[in-house]
């Protein structure tokens, strides 16, 4: 009895083992039908045109053949033997759809030996089908109830996890819905990522272009450039412009290395930190990694690429930790927002890294493509906070500037008012000085002449003579008053008419004093002086003749005017009197008349030269004109 029970136990174990080894894969099609995959097998092949009869091994789906055939580069045939069955009847009422998640790297699909689809390039440079899900519809008329075959040819390289993704059967509605989800996850999401990164990169580059000191935006735009190149290689279905699949992987990892370095520098610049030596070291390490990537043998690609990829992840984590440190230290709102954003990215990154090193081809979707919208959202918030901060700073600056401008304007108005009052006082003072000089040189000289005439008269003067003297004084006073607008006075037609009034006045006095006078005056103006220059020379002449009559005791006077050159006019008054000490008179302020003559001549750009000794005193006024100058 005991032996009977043992025999029954072993029999049941053998049956269970045999059933387990003959496990079937079932897919529901509609509510009543199923597709049963009886067997999945694979074999190495040299070309799609050859199906080996031997060497077949049973495999599971999905499949990566590097575990079974390490370092094998080439083609593999996958054979799916299946049939369908329905519970209510033997009739299949609707078509069956089957889908393939992807294959690495390229391939072709056959149904019952009939080609349904194949990639454009099945030899290097290979097409890329690992990121493109597909599904096909099998009409009811083409299906066999007992046995159907799906043949999948896959060609790939050992360094890129070659094999076949999930192959599934379902009804058309489920297949279509799943296809849309897979297309979104494997292609559309990356395309959205591509558009967002390109837009952000361009916006930040434009900001940096107009604000060159904002290097944060420059580094972010450069990192976006390399990220865009990386994403483009991911979604591109062909290897162009690269020569083969290996160079696609090398280029993609190169872009990722450069992106990691630039993004880390961007994070440092964002938190207002610049480590020049660290940045140089990062670029040096990146250069070593890129050289290694470009020249590594294909047998070492997988290991070396994994190490370089992990180094990039470590760099990102280190940058993230430093941002968290700076946010905690400074308590700035934009730093905290960036730290929160990077925390989400780190969590997603850890999940995707775990998927990356899982060599099984499965239907789990990496979450990294979703980080771009997250980063975009946070960057918009961060830029908005910075913009708000800058606007408030500008408003404060404008308020302070307005207050400062009002204060400076008030001070300037006070200063201008004080300066205006000072200028008015200076003008009044200058007018008084001019008036005193005119009174001295004009009316004073007339008074002196009149006094001399009265003093030298041998008999009592008649009323008519006094009246004549008073009229002369009145005319001199009028001349002083009218000289206030001297620039508008009419210039005499020639030097003779100009000097005639002075010559007439002093001739009477000289006749009374028995003084001989010689007048040498040109008949015409070679260069016509201005009204002010004419008035100044007349005042100099009057003052000189008054001094001669009053002090010199001279017996002969010579008045001479001439043009030594086409740009120069000279007036000389000379007498043979007792003379005087020129230095004492000019330097010690002993003669108001001399000082007045000198000041008048300096105002019109003329020079005064005085020479005096006993028996000869010469007063010389030299007036210079510009080249081609004449009075208007």
Measured in degrees and rounded to the nearest 5, phi and psi for residue 519 equal -115, 120
Buried b (16+ CB within 10 A) or exposed e, 150-181: bbbbbbbbbbbbbbbbbbbbbbbebbeebbee
- Average of pLDDT values for 376-395? 77
The CATH class of the 429-624 domain is: alpha beta
Q: Measured between alpha carbons, how far is 280 from 287 in angstroms, rounded to an integer? A: 11
Residues contacting residue 231 through CB under 8 Å, at least 6 positions apart:
190, 193, 194, 197
- pLDDT band at residue 486, thresholds of 50, 70 and 90? very low
- Average of pLDDT values for 196-224? 88
Rg (CA), the chain: 57
- pLDDT band at residue 37, thresholds of 50, 70 and 90? very high
CB 351 within 8 A of CB 329: no
Buried b (16+ CB within 10 A) or exposed e, 20-32: eeeeebebebbee
Helix (H, G, I), strand (E, B) or coil at 161: coil
Instruction: Note the pLDDT of residue 14.
Output: 35
- Average of pLDDT values for 616-624? 90
Q: Indicate the Cα dihedral angle 21, 22, 28, 33, nearest 10°.
A: -160
DSSP-derived letter for residue 457 is: -
- Long-range pairs for 352-355: beta carbons < 8 A, 24 or more residues apart: 353/313
Instruction: Note the pLDDT of residue 540.
Output: 86
Positive or negative CA dihedral for 58, 60, 65, 66? negative
Complete DSSP assignment for 532-569: HHHHHHHHHHHHHHHHIIIII--SEEEEEEEEEETTEE
- The pLDDT tens digits of the residues spanning 487-532 come to 446 788 888 888 888 888 788 778 777 888 899 999 899 888 888 8
- The pLDDT tens digits of the residues spanning 523-560 come to 899 888 888 888 888 888 888 888 888 788 888 999 99
Q: Measured between alpha carbons, how far is 196 from 619 in angstroms, rounded to an integer? A: 93
Tokens (6 digits) for 347: 């969590």
Asked whether the predicted pLDDT for residue 426 surpasses 90, the reply is no
Instruction: Note the pLDDT of residue 15.
Output: 37
Residue 624, strand partner residues: 568
Asked whether the predicted pLDDT for residue 60 surpasses 60, the reply is yes
Residue 557, strand partner residues: 517, 575
Asked whether the predicted pLDDT for residue 437 surpasses 80, the reply is no
The total of other beta-carbon atoms located within 10 Å of residue 510's CB is: 20
Query: Which residue carries 């009075």 as its tokens?
Result: 631
Instruction: Note the pLDDT of residue 63.
Output: 92
In 65-203 the beta strands, taken as DSSP E runs, fall at 74-86, 96-100, 103-104, 106-111, 114-118, 134-138, 148-156, 163-164, 167-170
Asked whether the predicted pLDDT for residue 452 surpasses 80, the reply is no
Domain ranges of the chain: 25-170, 181-366, 429-624
Tokens (6 digits) for 625: 């004109």
- pLDDT band at residue 315, thresholds of 50, 70 and 90? very high
Instruction: Note the pLDDT of residue 215.
Output: 87
Q: Measured between alpha carbons, how far is 270 from 343 in angstroms, rounded to an integer? A: 16
Beta-strand pair 556-565/167-170: unpaired
- The pLDDT tens digits of the residues spanning 559-605 come to 999 999 888 899 999 999 888 877 777 666 556 677 777 877 888 88
Tokens (6 digits) for 596: 């007045």
Query: Which residue carries 């790297």 as its tokens?
Result: 105
Query: Superfamily assignment of 25-170 in CATH?
Result: Galactose-binding domain-like (2.60.120.260)
Measured in degrees and rounded to the nearest 5, phi and psi for residue 60 equal -105, 160
Q: Select the more confidently predicted residue: 30 or 263.
A: 263
């Amino acid at each position: 009895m005991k032996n009977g029970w043992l025999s029954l136990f072993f029999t049941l174990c053998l049956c269970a083992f045999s059933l387990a080894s003959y496990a079937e894969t079932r897919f529901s099609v509609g509510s009543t039908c199923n597709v049963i995959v009886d067997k999945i097998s694979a074999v190495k092949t040299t070309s799609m045109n050859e199906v080996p009869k031997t060497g077949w091994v049973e495999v599971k789906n999905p499949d990566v053949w590097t575990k079974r055939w390490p370092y094998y580069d080439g083609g593999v045939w996958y054979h799916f033997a299946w049939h369908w069955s329905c519970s209510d009847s033997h009739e299949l009422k609707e078509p069956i759809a089957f889908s393939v998640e992807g294959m690495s790297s390229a391939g072709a699909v056959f149904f019952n030996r009939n080609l349904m689809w194949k990639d454009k390039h099945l030899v290097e440079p290979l097409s890329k089908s690992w990121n493109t899900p597909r599904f096909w519809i099998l009409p009811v008329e083409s299906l066999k109830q007992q046995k159907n075959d799906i043949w999948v040819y896959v060609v790939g390289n050992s360094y890129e996890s070659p094999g076949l993704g999930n192959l599934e059967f379902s009804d058309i509605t489920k297949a279509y819905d799943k296809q849309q989800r897979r297309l979104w996850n494997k292609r559309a999401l990356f395309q959205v990522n591509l558009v967002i990164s390109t837009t952000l990169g361009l916006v930040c580059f434009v900001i940096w272009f107009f604000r060159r000191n904002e290097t944060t935006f420059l580094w972010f735009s450069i990192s976006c450039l390399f990220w865009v190149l990386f994403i483009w290689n991911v979604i591109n279905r062909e290897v162009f412009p690269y020569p083969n699949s290996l160079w696609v992987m090398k280029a993609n990892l190169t872009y990722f290395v450069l992106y990691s370095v630039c993004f880390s520098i961007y994070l440092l610049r964002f938190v207002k930190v610049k480590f020049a030596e660290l940045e140089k070291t990062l670029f040096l390490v990146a250069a070593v990694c890129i050289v290694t990537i470009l020249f590594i043998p294909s047998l070492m690609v997988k290991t070396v690429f994994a190490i370089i990829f992990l180094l990039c992840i470590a760099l990102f984590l280190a940058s993230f930790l430093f941002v968290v440190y700076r946010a905690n230290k400074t308590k700035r709102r934009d730093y905290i927002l960036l730290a929160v954003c990077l925390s989400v990215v780190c969590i997603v990154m850890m999940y995707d890294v775990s998927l990356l090193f899982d060599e099984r081809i499965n239907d789990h979707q990496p979450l990294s493509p979703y980080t771009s919208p997250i980063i975009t959202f946070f960057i918009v918030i961060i830029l908005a906070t910075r913009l708000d901060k800058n606007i408030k700073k500008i408003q404060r600056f404008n308020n302070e500037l307005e207050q400062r401008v009002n204060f400076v304007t008030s001070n300037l108005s006070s200063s201008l008012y004080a300066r205006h009052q000072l200028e008015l006082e200076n003008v009044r003072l200058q007018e008084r000085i001019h008036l005193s000089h005119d009174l001295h040189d004009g009316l004073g000289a007339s008074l002196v002449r009149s006094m001399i005439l009265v003093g030298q008269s041998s008999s009592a003067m008649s009323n008519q003579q006094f009246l004549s003297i008073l009229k002369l004084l009145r005319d001199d006073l009028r001349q002083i008053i009218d000289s206030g607008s001297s620039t508008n006075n009419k210039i005499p037609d020639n030097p003779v008419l100009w000097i005639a009034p002075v010559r007439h006045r002093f001739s009477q006095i000289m006749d009374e004093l028995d003084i001989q006078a010689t007048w040498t005056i040109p008949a015409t103006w070679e260069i016509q002086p201005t009204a002010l220059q004419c008035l100044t020379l007349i005042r100099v002449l009057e003052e000189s003749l008054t001094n001669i009559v009053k002090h010199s005791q001279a017996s002969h006077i010579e008045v001479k005017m001439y043009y030594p050159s086409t740009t120069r006019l000279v007036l000389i008054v000379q007498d043979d009197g007792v003379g005087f000490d020129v230095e004492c008179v000019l330097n010690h302020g002993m003669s108001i008349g001399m000082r007045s003559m000198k000041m008048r001549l300096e105002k019109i750009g003329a020079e005064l030269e005085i020479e005096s000794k006993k028996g000869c005193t010469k007063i010389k006024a030299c007036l210079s004109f510009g080249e081609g100058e004449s009075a208007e």
